[in-house]
Amino acid sequence: MSDDAASATLAEVGEFGVIDRLVAGRRQGPGVVLGPGDDAAVLTAPDGRVVVTTDMLVEGRHFRFDWAGPYDVGRKAIAQNAADIEAMGASVTGFVVALGAPSNTRVGQLDALADGMWDEAQRVGAGIVGGDLVASPQWVVSVTALGDLCGGEPVTRAGATAGSVIAVCGELGLSAAGYALWQNGIDEFEPLRRRHLVPEPPYGQGIVAAAAGAGAMTDVSDGLIADLRHIAQCSAVGIDLASAALAPDRDALAEAAAAVVADPWSWVLAGGEDHALVATFPAGVPDGWRAIGVVLDGPARVLIDGDEWEGYQGWQSFG
Amino acid sequence: MSDDAASATLAEVGEFGVIDRLVAGRRQGPGVVLGPGDDAAVLTAPDGRVVVTTDMLVEGRHFRFDWAGPYDVGRKAIAQNAADIEAMGASVTGFVVALGAPSNTRVGQLDALADGMWDEAQRVGAGIVGGDLVASPQWVVSVTALGDLCGGEPVTRAGATAGSVIAVCGELGLSAAGYALWQNGIDEFEPLRRRHLVPEPPYGQGIVAAAAGAGAMTDVSDGLIADLRHIAQCSAVGIDLASAALAPDRDALAEAAAAVVADPWSWVLAGGEDHALVATFPAGVPDGWRAIGVVLDGPARVLIDGDEWEGYQGWQSFG
């Protein structure tokens, strides 16, 4: 694309011209029966059931352009939706994206967002099959992800049973650490600051966990304890985390925590947005997963070494 | 629900409390394997393929609360997505909704939005299976609809063939008329003003058209000529509309047009948002559909009685 077009505004190029540009040259996957450009898209659903989830990111609330460029915003929006599909024990088949942006936005900014979305979608093994583009006072990125269960049963939050092992795949607390570094204007610890902008969910491990007999599963989006509390409540079980098993996660963040004078435990236990997967396994933890605790009989609660966690409780919208 | 809770704000009740309230007591349909409350929902996809579309509505751009209440906004958001599924020749199986709203929004406003969404979804024969709720400076309603092809092939914009009849099911120009009445502060013509707030797509007729052998189909969202131009371009055909066949649509709007000193033809030909279905039929128009023109060999263009339409060209975002 020419630089001229990239520096034009959405108002100058118009909805249909921008959409043509965003769609041009993208390679759709084999499961796409009908891609962008019609009233709706059509994807294969080989399992006969389809998994669906949606998440909205609002500029100023979920991302800010003085920290993240639109490329990173695109990657994050796709990643967090993909993680929700993985957390059901499913495989992502495609995404649709509804995007709001101001009329004076440069087309090149949308190119970058779309590039980020496509790069992340390809890491998942899927494509963006459709969308909507509208005028909005600030950027709003609303992604819906579809997935296929590949013949397995959905792994909900309700299937945890006493005696199972709790295990995690992926990282804990990195996004929260990065957020604190950005907040404090510290420009060291580049990998942590990057991880706040773009999480790296363990793609493909949702299906692995389901095949290994996971009883319950979720992704860590609001914070480890907050998300495990959902499993505890839905499954009517207790959960006891072992601080010794989580200590390496804490130690990896100790230097950054010292720099911002924070408690690395609160990042590990209550930091969201890493989109690690956490699951309960009644019989054996698969390769690549780390045991971090055990499932107890009820009441529904989450303990650390047998005690209640009294720190920050995790993210809520409007909090 | 008590009035106390309805008058509390989102910030006071919190994300999870509001979601619990919005989900409580809603009856999911038989195609729902797993409804709201987990990382993702699961719907049946009996056809082995799934149809998917998404549309975003932004407060101040696509609706305004001095005209429409949140109940009507909810109905409209569901209706326009359902129409896109119908326009593929498919049947809606479920919706997911991502919603942004200011933290000081009253919970009762969200109750009303959800009631409108559910009422409209039930008219379609589907339910809302999941969603997301976030803080945003203004309301943003992003709906994704899923559908099932029931064994048929998707009816795209690309399948129109010369010699076919163009036919429409549903109303034309009512939403545009209603918009002009609202704009001019005229409080007569209540049915037209209502229709601008809540379109009434001809639910169930997408499948009917597909079964009748429709070659191409779309819903009238941007304006009859603008939407038919998409069919003309995708199918590389000409389209010739007969003004005599559309005259009853014009006549029905004549009184309102006189009241605002507008040309009713521009409402019929270029008014969007009615979400009528328009399709091409190579062999016979089904009951309930009205023939309004014929498909010609290319070039791709839309004519009225053999001439180009020179008036308003239809809606574009950022226009």
d(CA A131, CA A128): 8
DSSP A49-90: EEEEEEEEEEBTTTB-TTT--HHHHHHHHHHHHHHHHHTTT-
**A41 in contact with chain B, both atoms CB, cutoff 8 A:** yes
Is A289 or A21 the better-scoring residue by pLDDT? Answer: A289
Which pLDDT value is given to residue B275?
Answer: 97
**B30 in contact with chain A, both atoms CB, cutoff 8 A:** no
- Quote the tokens at residue A236: 């009517």
Residue with tokens 């055909």, as numbered in its chain:
B237
Question: Are residues B297 and B177 located together in one domain of the fold?
Answer: yes
Name the residue of chain B whose CA is nearest to A31's CA.
Answer: B49
Which pLDDT value is given to residue B314?
Answer: 63
Question: Are residues B40 and B109 located together in one domain of the fold?
Answer: yes
Q: How many domains does chain B have?
A: 2
Name the residue of chain A whose CA is nearest to B139's CA.
Answer: A136
Question: Are residues B194 and B111 located together in one domain of the fold?
Answer: no
Say if residue A314's pLDDT is above 70: no
CB contacts of B158 in chain A (<8 Å) are: 38
Q: Of the given ranges (A17-31, A92-106, B102-116), which has the lowest mean pLDDT? A: A17-31
- CA within 13 Å, CB half, A300: 14
Whether residue A50 lies inside any domain: the answer is: yes
* DSSP single-letter state for residue A106: B
Is B241 or B316 the better-scoring residue by pLDDT? Answer: B241
**Residue spans of beta strands (DSSP E) within chain A:** 32-34, 41-44, 49-58, 91-101, 128-135, 140-148, 165-169, 216-219, 237-241, 277-281, 290-297, 301-304, 307-308
Question: Are residues A100 and A40 located together in one domain of the fold?
Answer: yes
Question: Are residues A44 and A70 located together in one domain of the fold?
Answer: yes
Whichever domain contains B210, its CATH number is: 3.90.650.10
Residue pair B163/B282 in contact by the 8 Å Cβ criterion: yes
Q: What is the percentage of chain B residues whose pLDDT exceeds 70?
A: 97
- What residues pair up with B59 in beta bridges, in sequence order? B63
pLDDT tens track for B72-87: 999 999 999 999 999 9
Question: Are residues B122 and B184 located together in one domain of the fold?
Answer: no
Name the residue of chain A whose CA is nearest to B149's CA.
Answer: A42
d(CA B313, CA A72): 37
CB contact under 8 A, B147 and A40: yes
- Quote the tokens at residue A50: 């389809």
Whether residue B154 lies inside any domain: the answer is: no
Of B119, B148, B177, the residue at which a domain comes to its end is B148
Q: Of the given ranges (A109-113, A302-306, B26-30, B139-143), which has the lowest mean pLDDT? A: B26-30
Rounded to two decimals, the pTM is: 0.95
Alpha helices in chain B (DSSP H): 3-7, 10-13, 15-23, 70-86, 107-124, 174-183, 190-197, 205-211, 224-235, 243-252, 254-260, 264-270
Expressed as residue numbers, the domain containing A92 is 3-148
pLDDT band, residue A306 (cuts 50/70/90)? very high
Best mutation site among B10, B12, B39 for testing chain A: the one with the most A CBs within 10 Å?
B39
Q: Which is nearest to B169 in space by CA: B283, B6, B281, B61?
A: B281
pLDDT band, residue A318 (cuts 50/70/90)? low
Question: Are residues A143 and A186 located together in one domain of the fold?
Answer: no
Of B105, B122, B148, the residue at which a domain comes to its end is B148
Say if residue A67's pLDDT is above 50: yes
Question: Are residues A131 and A173 located together in one domain of the fold?
Answer: no
Question: Are residues A24 and A79 located together in one domain of the fold?
Answer: yes
Separation in Å, CA of A314 to nearest CA in chain B: 12
Question: Are residues B101 and B184 located together in one domain of the fold?
Answer: no
Q: Which is nearest to A159 in space by CA: A318, A276, A279?
A: A279
**B7 in contact with chain A, both atoms CB, cutoff 8 A:** no
In B219-278, the residues whose Cβ lies within 8 Å of chain A are 219, 234
Question: Are residues B132 and B179 located together in one domain of the fold?
Answer: no
Separation in Å, CA of A306 to nearest CA in chain B: 26
Residue pair B163/B109 in contact by the 8 Å Cβ criterion: no
Of B148, B177, B201, the residue at which a domain comes to its end is B148
At A281, give phi and psi (nearest 5°). Answer: -125, 115
Of A51, A94, A217, the CB nearest to B42: A51
Whichever domain contains B44, its CATH number is: 3.30.1330.10
* B32-34, strands of its sheet edge to edge: A128-135, A91-101, A140-148, A49-58, B41-44, B32-34
Whether residue A315 lies inside any domain: the answer is: no
Say if residue B2's pLDDT is above 90: no
Question: Are residues A136 and A247 located together in one domain of the fold?
Answer: no
Whether residue A75 lies inside any domain: the answer is: yes
CB contacts of A10 in chain B (<8 Å) are: 317-318
Whether residue A173 lies inside any domain: the answer is: yes
CB contact under 8 A, A45 and B40: no
Which pLDDT value is given to residue A1?
Answer: 46
ipTM rounded to 2 decimals: 0.95
Q: Which is nearest to A217 in space by CA: A82, A81, A89?
A: A89
Residue pair A270/A226 in contact by the 8 Å Cβ criterion: yes
At A268, which helix (H) or strand (E)? helix A264-270
**A207 in contact with chain B, both atoms CB, cutoff 8 A:** no
Whether residue A190 lies inside any domain: the answer is: yes
Whether residue A153 lies inside any domain: the answer is: no
Say if residue B1's pLDDT is above 50: no
pLDDT tens track for B251-272: 999 999 999 999 999 999 999 9
